[in-house]
């Protein structure tokens, strides 16, 4: 199966798409891994279906990892959709795959995973991944976490991410948070210090 993915021929794609639903779990794992070599909508859609419905955790994880490696808009779209159909046994793989995608859809999906009640077990890792994105498009998402996330720890992560962005909009959110919520946390004090140091 792996060789079929490396060949990249259209005939190989057909074989791998069929193998993704093979009764044998090892065959499905290998098919999912190999489909990651085909950056097209058809492969991404099948990998998304496998990731959300295959009874085997190993197969689902392989599908998500393959989507994370696939350098294609289709893969990002499918990964973002998986955040809305959260499957607990592949949660960390989904966060990792989304963290590797620089696209805005991936950042938005990380924000969903950071705050949804169904995804509580990945709130911290998803917030960390979003804060590490370091793109100006993340400002609104990180600011949203400051109001929507239930824990002070997540607020601290979001504040660090905003302070690292070094934009006026991000700095304004840090200042507003510190003004309204106070400086009780070390993260709030550190973020405020970063903003103040830049403004000198």
Global confidence as pTM: 0.86
Residues 59-83: tens digit of each pLDDT:
999 999 999 999 888 999 999 999 9
CATH number of the CATH domain containing 9: 1.25.10.10
172: in domain? no
Q: Can you spell out the DSSP letters for 49-110?
A: HHHHH-S-HHHHHHHHHHHHH--SHHHHHHHHHHHHT--GGGHHHHHHHHHT--SHHHHHHH
What is the domain extent for residue 67?
1-102
Is there a domain that residue 44 lies in?
yes
Cα atoms in the Cβ-side hemisphere of radius 13 Å centred on 126: 27
Asked whether residue 19 is assigned to any structural domain, the reply reads yes
Q: How many domains does the chain have?
A: 1
Q: What is the pLDDT of residues 95-154, one digit of tens each?
A: 999 999 888 999 999 999 998 888 888 999 999 999 998 888 899 999 999 998 888 899
Using DSSP, state whether 142 is helix, strand or coil: helix
Task: Report yes or no on 141 lying in a domain.
Answer: no
């Amino acid at each position: 199966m792996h060789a079929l993915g490396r060949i990249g021929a259209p005939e190989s794609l057909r074989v791998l798409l069929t193998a993704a639903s093979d009764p044998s779990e090892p065959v499905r794992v290998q098919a999912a891994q190999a489909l990651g070599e085909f950056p097209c909508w058809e492969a991404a859609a099948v990998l998304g279906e496998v990731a959300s419905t295959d009874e085997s955790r190993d197969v689902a994880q392989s599908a998500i990892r393959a989507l994370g490696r696939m350098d294609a808009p289709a893969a990002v779209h499918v990964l973002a959709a998986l955040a809305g159909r959260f499957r607990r046994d592949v949660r960390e793989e989904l966060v990792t795959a989304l963290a590797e995608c620089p696209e805005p859809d991936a950042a938005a999906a990380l924000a969903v995973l950071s705050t949804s009640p169904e995804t509580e077990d990945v709130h911290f890792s998803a917030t960390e991944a979003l804060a590490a994105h370091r793109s100006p498009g993340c400002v609104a998402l990180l600011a949203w976490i400051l109001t929507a996330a239930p824990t002070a720890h997540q607020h601290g992560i979001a504040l660090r991410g905003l302070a690292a962005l070094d934009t006026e909009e991000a700095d304004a959110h840090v200042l507003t948070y510190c003004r309204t919520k106070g400086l009780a946390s070390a993260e709030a004090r550190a973020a405020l210090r970063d903003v103040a140091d830049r403004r000198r």
